Amino acid sequence: MLKHKIAELMNEPGCATNQAKSDKDRKKGCGKQLTPGAAAGGCAFDGAKIALQPITDVVHLVHGPIACEGNSWDGRNSWSTGSTLYRLGFTTDMQNLDIVNGGEKKLYKAIKRAIARHNPPAVFVYQTCVGALIGDDVDAVCKAATERLGVPVVPVNAPGFVGSKNLGNRLGGEALFEHVIGTHEPDDVGPTDINILGEYNVAGELDQFRPLLARLGIRLRCSITGDARYLDVASSHTAKANMVLCSQALITLARKMKETWGIPYFEGSFYGISDTSDALRNIARMLVEQGADATLSQRTEALIAEQEALAWARLAAYKPRLAGRKVLLYTGGVKSWSVIQALQEVGMEVVGSSVRKATEADKKKALERLGGDEDKLADAITPKDMYAMFKDGKADMMLSGGRSQFIALKARTPWLDINQERHHGYACYDGMVELVRQIDLMINNPVWDQVRKPAPWEEA
Amino acid sequence: MALVINHNKPLSTSPLKTSAPLGAAMAFMGMEGSLPLFHGSQGCTAFALVMMVRHFREAIPLQTTAMNEVSTILGGSDQVEQALVNIVKRAKPKIIGLVSTALTETRGEDMKGDLKLIMAGNAALADTKVVFCSAPDFDGSLETGWGKAVGAMIDALVEPPKGAAPLKRVNVLAGCHLTPGDIEALKEIIEDFGLEPVILPDLSGSLDGHVPDAYVPTTLGGTTLEEVRGMGRAMLTIAVGEHMRISAEKLHARTGVPYLVLDRLTGLEAVDRLMVALSTAAAIPVPAKYRRQRSQLVDAMLDGHFYFAGRHLAIAGEPSFLWTYAKLAAELGAEIVAAVSALPSPHLSDLPCERAVIGDFEDLEDQILEAGGADLIIANSNGRLIAGRLGLAHHRAGFPVFDRLGAAHQTTLGYRGTRDLIFTLGNILMERPSHGHDACTHTEHSHGDPAIAVG
């Protein structure tokens, strides 16, 4: 069953990358074969957890040995404006005997206990490698628990060894589609309700676009899954349009929501100024097509004009401080191109952008913005080469995720976190200004003068 | 004497435990030119790596055999071989700690046998020492894995002394509750007695946050293979922390070097025991420097005990961590109202409190609520949720500490470390004179106002 599901996810008709492949290549699926001893990144379980953990008011229960939850709980920087239940780590902490005797009974007891103590609207149960290997039937336990305990218990079948983090994201989306979305009929359906898929409210970024939507009278029915409540996800099938962020992760869910409930979707981004404008335009267009008030498009244009002017004006102030500085973008997906424009606007030179996790479309857009210079499109850069880039002065700064930070820092080079552990929101117009402000604070920090100087006794 | 309670709950909520392979990897990280390798799915490595990166704020060399469904069913020997070959090609480590995980142990791989065949069949691996450590996630916690890795290194690396006379060398088997800062302090003490310390594992060389001049894909600093091989020439082995006892016995059986297990190196009497042991081994009196430091600690205890007396402390962590902090707090007159250990351990029944619970942060919260509150929580960063919810002070210590700077340099070892810890904890307690109606102990604070004590 799981095998079938994975095969389906690997052959996504809504995915441009997949459709561009030959029939033969498509059969191989889109998971890259990992190289033992030279692999980095999370597993499918990690991905499922990233996609679903931001649902704030449910119990997220991991059925596995301690490593899966004990080494990772509360480590993802998704914020909540309500419940904090999602920040607790729940696990069956499988022991020797559970593996010998099977862990299904323990899992049932764990679900029961979690419901008794926390009274959540639902429990999400995550399968892991060990549970899968010994054949614990998580689907059956969840079904029995739902029936007997009267609370929805949702199985998330994404054991780590089935593949990458990205596959896990998608399996998380599958769990929502199969068990959650469409299970609740809200009584307040409106003509301008939308969902945003693949947004996890990292560092509270939702607060950077909720106000924009509010000004247009658009209601965010549900962000899937940043700052989401269970009932919002269960009601999200009533929205009039879906916007898909981080397209590789939840495109299948968007397509299935379209096929099942007729919700149109588009892929967009809230990173970057003109991208934000495009996204707002698309939302307005879709809602109007779905029967919303036709003036929405005009109001949207007015808002865009106002916000863009404001943002570009605020960015201009940074120009003298940042012009000519060379920045290396080492991230993936949409961020490989979406922030380039803003950086160029303040006069920075993007000396390279990593496209190792980007789609073909992402790559094309990045290339376009880098003036067609293919040398600047990097796949994976080895830590050694990266270190050399900083030491040789080929880059003055790096924007990346936490993993590579020490390569920059140990080369005494400014670094800014733009991935999931970041502490500032960088979405929409305000977010882009914030990003540039942070770059300014980092790259022009007085600390660099001192830390780069050799000790007095080492000076020639 | 404490009653040790283990509820064996089916559901762990807000785990205190971390995984044994993580502990094993951390121990291997204390070796020079080292690159640990998890034999499991890539997530096993990613989680452990991220956790260590957040705690140490350092790049962490840690690799994976990247097991998938098929290799899990058919056996992972090929994955191990490829991983070893790839790592040696790319990073040229001197030692690879190969650590099994729950995934591969559940399948039941004969890793030792496989490894023999792999090493015999690959000339490229000849210059790299591969040490296998079995540490499935379903058995134990951080301490467990750490202890197993140290034991595995002793078995694989230490050479019997062959009758040569002992050198003025002291082996230290450092427990995982010691920070790089602690180990640095301990080394200095041992050297001040004219002795040569060999620390296994030595995180103070590798994870102390230094800035190298070039990019290195393995650990830079730590115990060298040569040093470990020569541990049999030492005159004494000091094991720090009860969980190092097995390793000490192992080393003794292999080399005949006498050993001493010190339960902790924080607290006046505890450090006194270390001084006596070193003074005896070196046959010199305790240096004036440490007599002075001892006097400073005594003074700190005199100045500080007011703020500890009768105060209610809640402590959670690995057994040796809990032991160290609970003993010190009790020695200053504080009451341990909640003690939670990630693991059972025989000596926990000697904790200076009524009961100790084997459990998680939920147990800690329950214990605190049952006690009617607490003045201070001492636990790793994950204690912040409870502290926030209950409005309590929280001193971050143990592993992981990811929301404070300098976790690696937090030093509580020796007279000086103890002195500074008393000041740190005493200051927190001084600032928060009371957690509730019954907690005021110092007369100046009897109205519960936040005044700072005089004198």
Please report the DSSP string for A172-193 in residue order: HHHHHHHHTTTS---S---TTE
CA A340 to chain centre: 19
CATH code for position B339: 3.40.50.1980
Choosing among A59, A74, A83, A161, which should be mutated to test the B contact, i.e. which has the most B CBs within 10 A? A161
Contact A407 B215 (CB under 8 A): yes
A21/B87 Cα distance (integer angstroms): 32
Are residues B363 and B421 both part of a single domain?
A: yes
Q: How far is A38 from chain B (nearest CA, A)?
A: 7
- Give me the total of CB pairs closer than 8 Å, taking one residue from chain A and one from chain B: 205
pLDDT at B435 over 70: no
User: Residue B108 region, left (φ>0) first, then alpha (ψ -120 to 50), else beta?
Assistant: left
Query: Residue B444: what pLDDT?
Result: 42
A326/A141 Cα distance (integer angstroms): 55
Are residues B241 and B309 both part of a single domain?
A: no
Beta carbons of B118 and B125 less than 8 angstroms apart = yes
Domain ranges of chain A: 2-15+41-179, 193-314, 318-422
* Residue with tokens 């924007």, as numbered in its chain: A399
Which secondary structure element, helix H or strand E, spans residue B225, and what is its range?
helix B225-229
Asked if the peptide bond before residue A225 counts as cis, ω within 30 degrees of 0, the response is yes
Q: How far is A133 from chain B (nearest CA, A)?
A: 8
Residues from chain B that touch A84, judged by Cβ atoms under 8 A, are: 385
Are residues B324 and B350 both part of a single domain?
A: yes
Say if B454 falls within a structural domain.
Answer: no
Q: How far is A100 from chain B (nearest CA, A)?
A: 9
Residues from chain A that touch B72, judged by Cβ atoms under 8 A, are: 129, 133, 161
A39/B83 Cα distance (integer angstroms): 9
Average pLDDT over residues B358-383: 97
Say if B413 falls within a structural domain.
Answer: yes
Residues from chain A that touch B10, judged by Cβ atoms under 8 A, are: 92, 106-107, 109-110, 113
Query: Residue B57: what pLDDT?
Result: 92
pLDDT at B449 over 50: no
Q: Which residues pair with B376 in a beta bridge?
A: B313, B393
Could you report how far apart the first and last alpha carbons of chain B are, in Å? 35
Torsion of CA A209, A215, A219, A223, to 10 degrees: 0
Q: Search chain B and give the residue with CA nearest A105.
A: B10
Mode of pairing for the β-strands spanning A219-225 and A193-199: parallel
Contact A66 B141 (CB under 8 A): yes
Tokens of B448: 């519960």
Are residues B212 and B308 both part of a single domain?
A: no
A71 reaches B (C-beta below 8 A): yes
Q: Which residues pair with A63 in a beta bridge?
A: A127
CB within 8 Å of B135: residues ≥ 6 apart: B20, B21, B23, B24, B99, B100, B101, B144, B145, B148, B149
For helices A295-316 and A273-289, what crossing angle results, to 10°? 170
* Residue with tokens 């909640």, as numbered in its chain: B338
> Within chain A, which residues score under 50 in pLDDT?
none
Interface of B with A in 350-409 (CB under 8 A): 382, 385
Interface of A with B in 323-352 (CB under 8 A): none
Interface of B with A in 211-240 (CB under 8 A): 211-212, 214-215, 217
Q: Search chain B and give the residue with CA nearest A451.
A: B211
Q: Considering B286, B304, B324, which residue would you say is the last residue of a domain?
A: B286
pLDDT band per the 50, 70, 90 thresholds, residue B440: very low
A155 reaches B (C-beta below 8 A): no
A133 reaches B (C-beta below 8 A): yes
pLDDT band per the 50, 70, 90 thresholds, residue B443: very low
Are residues B176 and B190 both part of a single domain?
A: yes
Nearest to B10 among A34, A113, A164 (CB): A113
In this structure, chain A runs to a length of: 460
Question: How do residues B189-234 score in pLDDT, each as one tens digit?
Answer: 999 999 999 999 999 988 888 888 888 888 888 999 999 999 999 9
Q: How far is A277 from chain B (nearest CA, A)?
A: 35
Contact B58 A406 (CB under 8 A): yes
- Please indicate, yes or no, whether the overall pTM of this predicted structure exceeds 0.95: no
Are residues B271 and B175 both part of a single domain?
A: yes
Query: Residue B345: what pLDDT?
Result: 95
- In chain B, % of residues over pLDDT 90: 86
Q: Search chain A and give the residue with CA nearest B84.
A: A37
Q: Which domain holds residue B13?
A: 9-152
CATH class (in words) of the domain with range A193-314: alpha beta
The CATH T-level fold of domain A318-422 is Rossmann fold (3.40.50)
Q: Search chain B and give the residue with CA nearest A388.
A: B215
Q: How far is A42 from chain B (nearest CA, A)?
A: 5
Are residues B408 and B299 both part of a single domain?
A: yes
Q: Search chain B and give the residue with CA nearest A404.
A: B59
Contact B12 A92 (CB under 8 A): yes
Q: Which residues pair with B39 in a beta bridge?
A: B100
pLDDT at B445 over 60: no
Q: How far is B225 from chain A (nearest CA, A)?
A: 22
A259/A246 Cα distance (integer angstroms): 20
Contact A130 B103 (CB under 8 A): yes
User: Cα-flanking dihedrals φ and ψ of residue A124, to 5°?
Assistant: -100, 125
A87 reaches B (C-beta below 8 A): yes
Residues from chain A that touch B45, judged by Cβ atoms under 8 A, are: 39
B274/B280 Cα distance (integer angstroms): 10
Are residues B299 and B280 both part of a single domain?
A: no
The angle subtended at Cα A282 by Cα A276 and Cα A288, nearest 5°, is: 140
Query: Residue B172: what pLDDT?
Result: 98
Three-state SS for B235? coil
pLDDT at B450 over 70: no
Are residues B268 and B349 both part of a single domain?
A: no
Interface of B with A in 256-315 (CB under 8 A): none
Q: How far is B82 from chain A (nearest CA, A)?
A: 6
Question: How do residues B401-433 score in pLDDT, each as one tens digit?
Answer: 999 999 999 999 999 999 999 999 999 999 987
Question: How do residues A276-325 score in pLDDT, each as one tens digit?
Answer: 999 999 999 999 999 999 999 999 999 999 999 999 999 999 999 999 99
CA distance to A241, A295, B34, per residue, from A292 (Å):
11, 9, 62
Say if B163 falls within a structural domain.
Answer: no
Handedness of CA A327, B51, B66, A37 (dihedral sign): positive
CA distance to A46, A52, A146, A221, B57, per residue, from A139 (Å):
19, 17, 11, 29, 40
Beta carbons of B83 and B64 less than 8 angstroms apart = yes
Query: Residue B448: what pLDDT?
Result: 41
Contact B51 A402 (CB under 8 A): no
pLDDT at B442 over 80: no
**Coarse DSSP helix, strand, coil percentages of chain B, rounded to the nearest 5 percent:** 50, 15, 35
Question: How do residues B65-80 score in pLDDT, each as one tens digit?
Answer: 999 988 988 889 999 9
Say if B395 falls within a structural domain.
Answer: yes
Are residues B126 and B63 both part of a single domain?
A: yes
Are residues B329 and B276 both part of a single domain?
A: no
| Other Cβ atoms closer than 10 A to A307 | 19
Helical H runs in B392-447?
A: 414-431
Residues from chain B that touch A388, judged by Cβ atoms under 8 A, are: 215
Q: How far is A454 from chain B (nearest CA, A)?
A: 11
Q: Considering B256, B286, B316, which residue would you say is the last residue of a domain?
A: B286
Contact B10 A109 (CB under 8 A): yes
Q: How far is B282 from chain A (nearest CA, A)?
A: 36
Residues from chain A that touch B21, judged by Cβ atoms under 8 A, are: 67
Q: How far is B59 from chain A (nearest CA, A)?
A: 6
Choosing among A1, A2, A10, A43, which should be mutated to test the B contact, i.e. which has the most B CBs within 10 A? A43
What CATH number should be reported for the domain whose range is A2-15+41-179? 3.40.50.1980
A384 reaches B (C-beta below 8 A): yes
Q: Considering B261, B286, B311, which residue would you say is the last residue of a domain?
A: B286
Interface of B with A in 14-33 (CB under 8 A): 14-15, 17-19, 21-22
B211/B98 Cα distance (integer angstroms): 27
| Other Cβ atoms closer than 10 A to A459 | 7
Choosing among A4, A33, A66, A108, which should be mutated to test the B contact, i.e. which has the most B CBs within 10 A? A66
Are residues B352 and B420 both part of a single domain?
A: yes
B374 vs A366, more confident: B374
Domain count, chain B: 3
Q: How far is B19 from chain A (nearest CA, A)?
A: 5
Query: Residue A247: what pLDDT?
Result: 62
